[in-house]
């Protein structure tokens, strides 16, 4: 991302003003942004997610290598998704690779599929307790404290993006709460995004097939690529306004 | 049925109540086991997320609403022959609602968070509405029963009956809307479903009522007046035919839409257990045979035939719900139309479902709860329909 957004400008000014008083201690987010290849500033603790931002992903299916599972490995390692149940259909899969074969000409495409972070998410509409929620910056999450495990969101998701935790879990990642009896899905690595980092899958994709950024920022890399190339929202006729876009399908 | 001597009769009551209680207790035990181990011990998975417990729970909840139709025909539509049946119909409603809700609550991944469900409300969720509609149903039916059974409250029974009628139509609309509002899956997302659920509730509720009524009359060595039996059997036939009309409309509409034909081909022809249950279980056993029994005089004159027809309607109901709920999930979501898809997550693949013992026991536990409440209720209180034949004759209600 090249041009600063207003919040970043504020932090830059604040950082400059207090530079002599301990730069990293006062503005750790700015520091992270300066050294990393992050898309935006970190979200300071105690501040709400900004509705001015719409986090999104662009996935270039033409670059996605068949047989490669680096994004899946990265996601499951980052989020501690490791259980292997006797019936694999009961395992959680936050991200999966789908192989598409065009019925007309046999063309094969592979792509990663995960929560599409809809602007109008059906899972949020149907959740009885409000545990399924959309953060102000467009990330769709499950509040593990209020999820009752009814699985109605799994019935409602058109992308089959959600998993139900079928068993007791151990070795959870401290930053990704997971638990038996709750529903879960891709969080867009919200804990990393809030620190100014990219989602694990994006970072680990060896082909550079995934671009993460702010869809609302016209000069972000993702916005520029979406403006320049033909991209697709899966099942676009549902008009859910997806945060995840695909190229090459 | 020969009259039982009072001692044997009392013994039989305790045996029945204990059996019902045992089935309920085993169901609760199964739920505890599922809660302890997680749903890994069930046949449900990330593709078929709702299983046998939901089939049983939805049957019980839908039939609970429909069984009150008997009371409504008496109180709202003023048919005298049904008035004496209102208390029993209200008891059956509470019994089946208890069984159905228990199963659906105990199948939750976090059944311990019932208070969360009660205190966090999402107004856009049909499940959220149901959190209000279901307990509300208990309250409203309890008040209705009070107005029916307490002489001083009798003047209010018509108003309470009307409120109950409206509430249960809303309740079953809510149950049908659980599926009608689902955009994701081929089987659901259809506006006919709430209406279809309402008519299903009429048929299934009446079938349950007929079975309980016949059993109670037999127990007490009473015979239902042929004219009343005739009216009730004709009403059941009308409802069964109406359900078939809605089911046919639902499938024919789908067949007409190109994007739905693959799903219909699966459910009606190629999908293994699902077409079998649909055609043999629902259409033949649950619809055609009961309709023949109910409308062919030579058949329905046979003693016990209407009882049998009611039982077959219930068998058909379970088959239809199994096809609708499990079959609807077994068929893969069409995320990429025009492509053959495959993945490690059952994309593009038809799923199979085999219920395991714990979830089956939980499902039957719901029936056990409903049965026990009914058995104890009819024993302890005056629920036996008492027909005042002279009054009914004067009102023209028992003209053959």
Q: Strands, DSSP E only, in A51-158?
A: 55-60, 95-102, 108-114, 132-134, 140-142
pLDDT at B3: 58
- The boundaries of the domain holding residue B358 are 10-336+344-382
Cα separation, B270 vs A37, in Å, equals 53
Whether the per-residue pLDDT at A4 is higher than 90: the answer is no
CB A113, CB A75: distance < 8 Å: no
Interface membership of A235 toward B (CB under 8 Å): yes
Task: Inspect the interface and report whether the beta carbons of A152 and B127 lie closer than 8 Å.
Answer: yes
Tokens standing for A219?
A: 């000069």
Task: Inspect the interface and report whether the beta carbons of B183 and A122 lie closer than 8 Å.
Answer: yes
Tokens standing for A248?
A: 């090459």
With 0-12 / 13-18 / 19 or more C-beta atoms within 10 angstroms meaning exposed / middle / buried, residue B183 is middle
Taking CA–CA distances from B341, the nearest residue in chain A reads A100
pLDDT digits (tens, 9 = 90+) for B287-338: 999 999 999 999 999 999 999 999 999 999 999 999 999 999 999 999 999 9
A72, A67, A66, A69: which is closest to A94 by C-alpha? A72
Interface membership of A150 toward B (CB under 8 Å): yes
Question: What's the gap in Å between the CA of A107 and the closest CA on chain B?
Answer: 9
Residue A184, beta-bridge partner list: A163
Beta-carbon contacts of B224 under 8 Å, excluding residues fewer than 6 positions away, are: B213, B214, B217
In a domain, B143, yes or no: yes
In a domain, B1, yes or no: no
CB B336, CB A99: distance < 8 Å: no
Task: Inspect the interface and report whether the beta carbons of A182 and B37 lie closer than 8 Å.
Answer: no
Whether the per-residue pLDDT at B252 is higher than 90: the answer is yes
User: Token match 């059952």: residue?
Assistant: B346
Q: Percent of chain A having pLDDT more than 90?
A: 78
User: Token match 């809605």: residue?
Assistant: B246
Interface membership of A154 toward B (CB under 8 Å): yes
Q: What is the mean pLDDT of residues B7-23?
A: 92
Whether the per-residue pLDDT at A3 is higher than 60: the answer is no
B186, B180, B335: which is closest to B255 by C-alpha? B186
CB A211, CB A228: distance < 8 Å: no
- The answer for A 2-61 residues in CB contact with B (under 8 A) is none
Whether the per-residue pLDDT at B64 is higher than 60: the answer is yes
pLDDT category at A211 given cuts 50, 70, 90 is very high
Whether the per-residue pLDDT at A64 is higher than 50: the answer is yes
pLDDT at B322: 98
Question: What's the gap in Å between the CA of A127 and the closest CA on chain B?
Answer: 6
CB B322, CB A100: distance < 8 Å: no
pLDDT at A1: 37
pLDDT at A38: 45
Interface membership of A248 toward B (CB under 8 Å): no
Strands A244-247 and A231-232: antiparallel
CA within 13 Å, CB half, B129: 16
Residue of B336, B352, B358 to mutate for A, most A C-beta atoms under 10 A: B336
Taking CA–CA distances from B54, the nearest residue in chain A reads A150
Beta-carbon contacts of B212 under 8 Å, excluding residues fewer than 6 positions away, are: B88, B92, B374, B378
Q: What is the mean pLDDT of chain B?
A: 93
Nearest to B38 among A104, A147, A181 (CB): A181
In a domain, B50, yes or no: yes
With 0-12 / 13-18 / 19 or more C-beta atoms within 10 angstroms meaning exposed / middle / buried, residue B228 is buried
The CATH number that applies at residue B65 is: 1.20.1630.10
Residues of A in contact with B111 (CB under 8 A): 148-149
Residues of B in contact with A88 (CB under 8 A): 344
Q: What angle do CA A93, A158, B345 make, to 5 degrees?
A: 30
Task: Inspect the interface and report whether the beta carbons of A91 and B185 lie closer than 8 Å.
Answer: no
pLDDT at A26: 40
Q: Where are the domains of chain A?
A: 52-247
ipTM for this model? 0.92
pLDDT category at B397 given cuts 50, 70, 90 is low
For residue A92, report the phi and psi dihedrals to the nearest 5 degrees.
Answer: -75, 140
Whether the per-residue pLDDT at A33 is higher than 90: the answer is no
User: Token match 């968070």: residue?
Assistant: B113
Q: Strands, DSSP E only, in chain B?
A: 339-343
CB pairs under 8 A between A and B: 176
Nearest to A234 among B47, B184, B335 (CB): B335
Whether the per-residue pLDDT at A41 is higher than 90: the answer is no
Residues of A in contact with B110 (CB under 8 A): 147-149, 181-182
Task: Inspect the interface and report whether the beta carbons of B128 and A152 lie closer than 8 Å.
Answer: no
For residue A55, report the phi and psi dihedrals to the nearest 5 degrees.
Answer: -70, 140
CB atoms under 10 Å from CB of A62, counted, come to 12
Structural domains in chain B (count)? 1
pLDDT digits (tens, 9 = 90+) for A167-207: 999 888 989 989 999 999 999 999 999 999 999 999 999 99
Task: Inspect the interface and report whether the beta carbons of B47 and A235 lie closer than 8 Å.
Answer: no
pLDDT category at A91 given cuts 50, 70, 90 is very high
pLDDT at B393: 73
Q: What angle do CA A150, A153, A155 make, to 5 degrees?
A: 95
Task: Inspect the interface and report whether the beta carbons of A98 and B336 lie closer than 8 Å.
Answer: yes
pLDDT category at B112 given cuts 50, 70, 90 is very high
Task: Inspect the interface and report whether the beta carbons of B339 and A181 lie closer than 8 Å.
Answer: no
Residue of B58, B184, B338 to mutate for A, most A C-beta atoms under 10 A: B184
Nearest to A100 among B49, B127, B341 (CB): B341
CB A60, CB A247: distance < 8 Å: yes
Whether the per-residue pLDDT at B187 is higher than 80: the answer is yes
In a domain, B25, yes or no: yes
Task: Inspect the interface and report whether the beta carbons of A151 and B126 lie closer than 8 Å.
Answer: no
Tokens standing for A89?
A: 């259909």
Interface membership of A148 toward B (CB under 8 Å): yes
pLDDT digits (tens, 9 = 90+) for B217-240: 988 888 888 888 999 999 999 999
Instruction: Please state which of the four CATH numbers 3.30.460.80, 3.30.70.20, 2.70.150.10, 3.40.190.10 is assigned to the domain occupying A52-247.
Output: 3.30.70.20
Residue A8, beta-bridge partner list: none
Beta-carbon contacts of B102 under 8 Å, excluding residues fewer than 6 positions away, are: B27, B365, B366, B369
Taking CA–CA distances from B354, the nearest residue in chain A reads A87
Residues of B in contact with A108 (CB under 8 A): none
pLDDT digits (tens, 9 = 90+) for B334-392: 999 999 999 999 999 999 999 999 999 999 999 999 999 999 999 888 888 887 777 77
pLDDT category at A5 given cuts 50, 70, 90 is low
pLDDT at A23: 38
Residues of A in contact with B351 (CB under 8 A): 89
pLDDT category at B61 given cuts 50, 70, 90 is very high
């Amino acid at each position: 991302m090249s041009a600063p957004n207003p919040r970043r400008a504020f932090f830059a000014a604040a950082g400059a003003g207090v530079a002599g008083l301990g730069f990293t201690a006062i503005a750790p987010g700015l520091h992270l942004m300066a050294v990393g290849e992050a898309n935006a500033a970190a979200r300071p603790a105690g501040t709400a997610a900004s509705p001015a931002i719409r986090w999104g992903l662009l996935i270039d299916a033409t670059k996605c290598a068949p047989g490669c599972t680096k994004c899946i490995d990265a996601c499951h390692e980052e989020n501690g998704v490791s259980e292997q149940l006797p019936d694999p259909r009961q395992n959680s899969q936050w991200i999966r690779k789908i192989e598409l074969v065009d019925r007309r000409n046999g063309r094969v495409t592979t792509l990663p599929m995960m929560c599409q972070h809809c602007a109008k998410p059906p899972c949020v509409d149907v959740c009885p307790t409000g545990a399924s929620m959309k953060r102000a910056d467009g990330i769709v999450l499950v509040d593990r404290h209020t999820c009752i495990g009814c699985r109605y969101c799994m019935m409602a998701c058109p992308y089959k993006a959600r998993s139900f935790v079928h068993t007791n879990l151990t070795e959870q990642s401290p930053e990704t709460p997971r638990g038996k009896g709750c529903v879960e899905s891709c969080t867009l690595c919200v804990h990393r995004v809030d620190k100014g980092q990219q989602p694990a899958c994006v970072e680990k994709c060896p082909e550079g097939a995934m671009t993460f950024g702010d869809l609302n920022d016209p000069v972000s890399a993702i916005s520029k690529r979406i403006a320049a190339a033909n991209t697709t929202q899966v099942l676009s006729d549902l008009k859910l306004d997806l945060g995840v876009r695909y190229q090459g399908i | 049925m020969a009259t039982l001597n009072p001692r044997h009769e009392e013994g039989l009551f305790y045996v029945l109540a204990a059996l019902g209680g045992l089935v309920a207790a085993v169901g609760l035990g199964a739920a505890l086991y599922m809660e302890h181990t997680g749903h890994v011990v069930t046949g449900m998975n990330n593709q078929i997320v709702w299983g046998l417990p939901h089939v049983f729970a939805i049957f019980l909840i839908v039939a609970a609403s429909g069984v009150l139709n008997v009371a409504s025909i008496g109180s709202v539509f003023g048919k005298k022959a049904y008035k004496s049946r209102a208390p029993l119909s209200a008891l059956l409603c509470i019994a089946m609602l208890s069984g159905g809700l228990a199963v659906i609550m105990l199948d939750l991944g976090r059944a311990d968070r019932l208070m969360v469900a009660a205190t966090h409300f999402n107004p856009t969720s049909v499940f959220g509405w149901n959190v209000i509609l279901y307990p509300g149903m208990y309250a409203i039916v309890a008040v209705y029963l009070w107005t029916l059974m307490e002489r001083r409250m009798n003047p209010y029974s018509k108003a309470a009956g009307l409120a109950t009628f409206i509430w249960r139509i809303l309740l079953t609309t809510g149950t049908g809307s659980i599926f009608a509002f689902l955009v994701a899956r081929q089987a659901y997302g259809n506006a006919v479903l709430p209406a279809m659920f309402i008519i299903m509730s009429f048929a299934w509720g009446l079938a349950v009522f007929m079975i309980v009524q016949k059993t109670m009359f037999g127990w007490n060595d009473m015979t239902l007046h042929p004219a009343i039996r005739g009216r009730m059997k004709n009403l059941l036939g009308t409802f069964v035919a109406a359900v078939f009309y809605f089911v046919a409309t639902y499938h024919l509409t789908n067949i007409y839409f190109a994007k739905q034909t693959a799903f219909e081909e699966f459910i009606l022809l190629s999908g293994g257990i699902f077409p079998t249950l649909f055609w043999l279980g629902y259409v033949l056993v649950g619809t055609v045979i009961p309709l023949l029994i109910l409308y062919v005089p030579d058949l329905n004159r046979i003693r016990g035939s209407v009882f049998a027809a009611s039982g077959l309607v219930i068998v058909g109901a379970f088959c239809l719900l199994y096809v609708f709920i499990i079959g609807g999930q077994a068929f893969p979501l069409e995320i990429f139309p025009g492509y053959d898809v495959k993945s490690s997550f059952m994309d593009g693949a038809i799923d199979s479902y085999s219920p395991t013992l714990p979830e089956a026991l939980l499902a039957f536990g719901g029936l056990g709860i409903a049965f026990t409440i009914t058995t104890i209720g009819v024993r302890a209180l005056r629920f036996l329909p008492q027909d005042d034949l002279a009054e009914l004759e004067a009102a023209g209600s028992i003209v053959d």
